[in-house]
Amino acid sequence: MTEADASETLRIVVADDQASVREGLVVLLDLLPDIEVVAAAANGEEAVAAVAESHPDAILLDLHMPVLDGIETARRLNRDHPEVAIVVLTTYHDDTSVLAALRAGARSYLTKDADRTEIAQALRGAVTGLSVLDPGVQAALVAAVGPRPEQSPKPSLPDELPDRLTRREAEILVMIARGVTNPDIAAKLYLSPHTVKSHINRIFAKTGSADRSAVVQYANEHGLL
């Protein structure tokens, strides 16, 4: 779904092993006029099967589930159904859980303190490529992945950037040129892997780069390194 389609009804799968939570989320989301819950799952394997069968726009996914946990479920969905936005909704917001979920392909991460409006906004945002993190999740990430001496310094960028690059795109471009991997870019900038991929696709298009070696050459030629 694109931004132009944002007014259309979102088709959602809900996955949570607690029946009362799962059923409550289904009722809560079905009350919204632009969201339709097309399937519900009690574990990760059911969630993967439900996505394959119903082709939703997004999945609302708990992390700690039996049979197949949320992290492995997210990995499989990101691999086999990358068009489906993954929004984690869980009671856990420790840095290990958050980073594992984002690296597995989750676009947004909420705790179960979130209300109906926050959940709906996160779903809509994730479908259009945005990343939404609960404030408590952001705090956990900052505490766990804050600036470290061994990390590369943040690139110093010129005031005028070439080829209509945004400052975020230029920052990621320099990190690519320095050999930073996509997962590390996501962790250092507190972005989801999907958001990083979207930025990189735009960088390649704007700079005419076919691969990472071309990005290195571009960065050198334009004085970004």
Mean pLDDT, residues 115-138: 83
| Final residue before a domain boundary, out of 108, 142, 176 | 142
| Final residue before a domain boundary, out of 80, 107, 142 | 142
Residues 82 and 23 in one domain: yes
* Mean pLDDT estimate for the chain: 86
E-strand stretches of the chain: 10-15, 35-41, 58-61, 85-90, 108-111
Q: Which range among 130-134, 136-140, 210-214 shows the weakest confidence by mean pLDDT?
A: 136-140
Which stretch, 91-100, 165-174, 177-186, has highest mean pLDDT? 165-174
194 is a domain residue: yes
More confident residue, 159 or 61: 61
| Amino acid identity at 120 | A
CATH for 48: 3.40.50.2300
Question: Is it the case that residue 98 has pLDDT exceeding 50?
Answer: yes
Confidence label for 189 from pLDDT (cuts 50, 70 and 90)? confident
107 is a domain residue: yes
- Its pTM stands at 0.62
pLDDT digits (tens, 9 = 90+) for 174-185: 999 888 888 888
Question: Is it the case that residue 119 has pLDDT exceeding 60?
Answer: yes
Residues 134 and 170 in one domain: no
Helix, strand, or coil (residue 25): helix
Residues 75 and 115 in one domain: yes
Residues 118 and 85 in one domain: yes
Q: Which residue's structure tokens are 């571009």?
A: 218
Domain that holds residue 80: 3-142
Residues 132 and 53 in one domain: yes
The sheet carrying 58-61 orders its strands as 35-41, 10-15, 58-61, 85-90, 108-111
pLDDT digits (tens, 9 = 90+) for 101-115: 888 999 889 988 888
Residues 97 and 7 in one domain: yes
Mean pLDDT, residues 199-215: 91
Assigned token pair, 49: 């099967």
Assigned token pair, 35: 């969201």
Q: What was the pLDDT predicted at 24?
A: 93
Query: What angle, rounded to 10 degrees, do the helices at 212-221 and 167-177 form?
Result: 110
Confidence label for 143 from pLDDT (cuts 50, 70 and 90)? low
Which residues on adjacent β-strands are paired with residue 15?
41, 61
151 is a domain residue: no
Q: How far apart are CA 172 and CA 74, in angstroms?
A: 24
* Cβ-based burial of 197 (10 A; exposed 0-12, middle 13-18, buried ≥19): middle
Mean pLDDT, residues 156-179: 89
| Cβ contacts of 221 within 8 Å, gap of 6 or more | none
110 is a domain residue: yes
Q: What was the pLDDT predicted at 149?
A: 41
Report the number of distinct structural domains present in the chain: 2
Residues 31 and 109 in one domain: yes
Q: What was the pLDDT predicted at 132?
A: 80
